[in-house]
Amino acid sequence: MATGYSPEWTAHNSMYTARFRIYYSTSYNASTNQSTVTITPQLKTSTNFGSDYRVFNGAGLSGAGVYGNGVCLYSFGSNYGSGNYLRCGSAHDYFRDLGSWSFTVSHNANGDASFTVGIYGSVLAMYFSGTGYTYAQCFIGTVGAKSSSTITIHENAASTIASAPSSIATRETLVLTMRRLAASNYHIATFKYNNSTTLYTSGRFDTQLDFAVPRSWFEDYPSIASLPVTVSVQTYNSSGTAIGSPATASLTVNADADMKPVVSSGWASLAPYNTGAVSGITGYVKSYSKAEAAFDDTKVDMSNAVGAGIASFSVTCQGETDSYTPYLTPVLASTSVSVVCAVTDTRGRTASETFTLTVMDYAKPVLTGIEIFRCDAQGAEAEDGTHYSAKAFLSHSSLDGQNSTVLTSAVTASGGGYGAEESLSSGTAHLSSAQLSADVTYTVRITATDALGNTAVYYQVLPTRKWAMKFRPDGSGVAFGKAAEYDGVFEITDDWDFRVHGKEINTLLREKLLSLVYPVGSIYMSVNNDSPATFLGGTWEQIEDTFLLAAGSSFAAGATGGAATHHHSTANHTLTVSEIPSHTHGVQGWRYNNQSSGDKWSTSYTKLSDSPSSSTPVLATGGGRAHNHGDTGDASSLPPYLAVYMWKRTG
């Protein structure tokens, strides 16, 4: 930007002198290599005669006006009172602006431009006489010229960047295009990381620079995947002299997608991690095994990662990732499992390999087709047999032959311990070697135990032989339908009913228990939605969505009431004096003397006139006006609770 003044021009008569000059300022546009020149003609007089100065074409001048670079920007008319003229106020001893105009000039390749300015017209001074709007006038003379001497300005005619990428990846071609102002100029570009460290300086180029962005720019930045880069382009003339300031642009250079670790065969391996129940099993067992990953960093090629190192290894399976040694998956939950092994570098770039594991299915042992009965020594079923026969079919997971399952049976008399386990073969009846008494109840247990320690167990009771009635040998106990086994006990076989007055004993006991524990009017509570009528009998009605309250003098037994929600409102409630909080009022007072009794004071929220007829006094009680504080809405009245099912016995 350049500023300055033209030479001065003078107009005068025998009494007064008027001096003119033109102030100029410039604004440079590097993209077009042009400047906009703004000119402002200014007037100064040697006397304070005039309070109103006018410049016009008062002498029949040819081409009177304001000029810029030889072109008339504003033409003066011949009338100083209307039409085209310039005007300013008192200009005694200082220059006053008359207006502003602009024009454009072009610079050459070296940044030079020149132009002329001028003003050419007549000057009239006018003075207000003070009588009405009459003016005294004084013609000072003709002033100026259409052009001044040549004014030269200079700008650094540096090139500007026409196009540059905002983002680019390594190994992509970067194209930088310059807008050159002179064919003889050339450029040198410098690329810097974070506007500080130089990454690359180009050779000389004319209007375009293109090159593949090298990965080497990242060598010193092992943890960064995106570099903020500033490019600075300096323009030089044919003599090698720098022109102006460098043109700059910012861009982001990203590490390309292949700037990451490269893995080779055998860099990662998986092996079963079997502990506890499966510690002796080879291979993966569903619901028990984990997989453990091992990594060989010598088979991880980091050359493509350009300066980055290995940050971590990880294993991902079933939505879980483990990045710490010993790199374990969760327990394998299906028979085919995908496991992703990965290596991550210090830039966060990852290489990975997916492995598919075949997992052996597993289920606990299952017993089916079970047959257990008393028998004789030859294995024939007999009610009074002194041996037992046991048979069961075993199903189990073989785990590739590693899961051996043991099938056994054992017997115990009621109240005693089990004897030795006897081996069984799946699907084959086994004649027990145990000696049984025909008049003792026994329980036979069949057990299947696999290599993982899981079992399947089945129990069956072998009753005594049947008797209509049987006493203990010493007469201390009796049984019906079976042998008597206990002293002082009245026994009945499980498949017989005991009736009193035609009713089963269980029914009678239930009725007695119901009347003792839950008489009519009792409340039964449970978290299960089963009516007590189904297992206790009686008639019950269900109670729903109601709290229980202890009866007393305030609440009679059987009374109902209450609500799940409550609502508060202050709508249109008038406060009493006792409800009003302590408060103050700011008031104003005016005095007036329109009564013979003397001065009176009145207070009001509105200004009173000199002789008011009435006023609104401040009311200490609030004026008895209704008010609203708003509603609470519907709010819960419930304390913390546990909801249960309830029934009331009605019969």
Reduced to 3 states, what is the DSSP secondary structure of residue 533?
helix
Give the pLDDT band (50/70/90) at residue 613: very low
Q: 464: exposed, middle or buried (C-beta count within 10 Å: 0-12, 13-18, 19+)?
A: buried
Mean of pLDDT values over 382-386: 93
What is the overall mean pLDDT for the chain? 85
Q: What pLDDT shows up at residue 609?
A: 45
pLDDT digits (tens, 9 = 90+) for 325-335: 999 999 999 99
**Choice among 302-306, 323-327, 414-418, 468-472 with the minimum mean pLDDT:** 468-472
DSSP string, 37-71: EEEEEEEEESSS--SEEEEE--S--TT-EEEETTE
For residues 413 and 406, what is the distance between their CA atoms, to the nearest angstrom?
23
Residue 540: CB atoms within 10 A of its CB come to 21
Q: What pLDDT shows up at residue 218?
A: 97
Contact 52, 87 (CB under 8 A): yes
Q: What pLDDT shows up at residue 11?
A: 84
Alpha carbon 553 to its chain's center: 58
Q: Is the pLDDT of residue 357 over 60?
A: yes
- For residue 107 the two structure tokens come to 């610079």
CATH architecture, range 262-358: Sandwich (2.60)
**Choice among 133-147, 170-184, 248-262, 630-644 with the minimum mean pLDDT:** 630-644
Mean of pLDDT values over 404-430: 94
Q: Is the pLDDT of residue 438 over 60?
A: yes
For residues 464 and 470, what is the distance between their CA atoms, to the nearest angstrom?
11
Q: What pLDDT shows up at residue 184?
A: 84
Contact 62, 133 (CB under 8 A): no
For residues 231 and 163, what is the distance between their CA atoms, to the nearest angstrom?
12
Nearest to 558 by CA among 537, 541, 538, 539: 541
- For residue 19 the two structure tokens come to 């001096």
Contact 448, 396 (CB under 8 A): yes
Q: Is the pLDDT of residue 590 over 90?
A: no
Give the pLDDT band (50/70/90) at residue 374: very high
Fold matches, 160-254 and 366-462? yes
pLDDT digits (tens, 9 = 90+) for 551-575: 777 778 778 777 777 666 666 667 7
**Choice among 29-33, 37-41, 215-219, 251-255 with the minimum mean pLDDT:** 29-33
Q: What pLDDT shows up at residue 273?
A: 97
Q: What pLDDT shows up at residue 86?
A: 86
pLDDT digits (tens, 9 = 90+) for 12-64: 887 788 888 999 999 988 778 889 999 999 988 876 666 778 888 888 889 99
Mean of pLDDT values over 225-236: 96
Using the structure block, give the residue that is written with the tokens 């257990």.
Answer: 372
Domain chopping of the chain, boundaries = 3-154, 160-254, 262-358, 366-462
Strand partners, 411: 444
- For residue 397 the two structure tokens come to 């997971």
Give the pLDDT band (50/70/90) at residue 604: very low
CATH class of domain segment(s) 160-254? mainly beta
**Choice among 326-330, 509-513, 623-627 with the minimum mean pLDDT:** 623-627
Identify the residue with better confidence: 501 or 409.
409
Identify the residue with better confidence: 184 or 501.
184
Nearest to 307 by CA among 342, 264, 255, 257: 255
Using the structure block, give the residue that is written with the tokens 């299915």.
Answer: 361
Q: Is the pLDDT of residue 599 over 70?
A: no
Topology of domain 366-462, CATH: Immunoglobulin-like (2.60.40)
Nearest to 92 by CA among 61, 58, 56, 48: 48
Contact 310, 300 (CB under 8 A): yes
For residues 315 and 221, what is the distance between their CA atoms, to the nearest angstrom?
27
Q: Is the pLDDT of residue 120 over 80?
A: yes
Q: What pLDDT shows up at residue 503?
A: 66
pTM higher than 0.75 for the full model?
no
Q: What pLDDT shows up at residue 605?
A: 39
Mean of pLDDT values over 256-263: 97
Q: Is the pLDDT of residue 620 over 60?
A: no
* Helix H or strand E segment including 598: none
pLDDT digits (tens, 9 = 90+) for 59-81: 888 999 999 999 999 999 988 87
For residues 530 and 12, what is the distance between their CA atoms, to the nearest angstrom?
123
Identify the residue with better confidence: 147 or 430.
430
pLDDT above 90 coverage of the chain, percent: 51
Q: What are phi and psi of 7, to 5 degrees?
A: -60, 160
State the DSSP code for 576: P
Give the pLDDT band (50/70/90) at residue 593: very low
pLDDT above 70 coverage of the chain, percent: 84
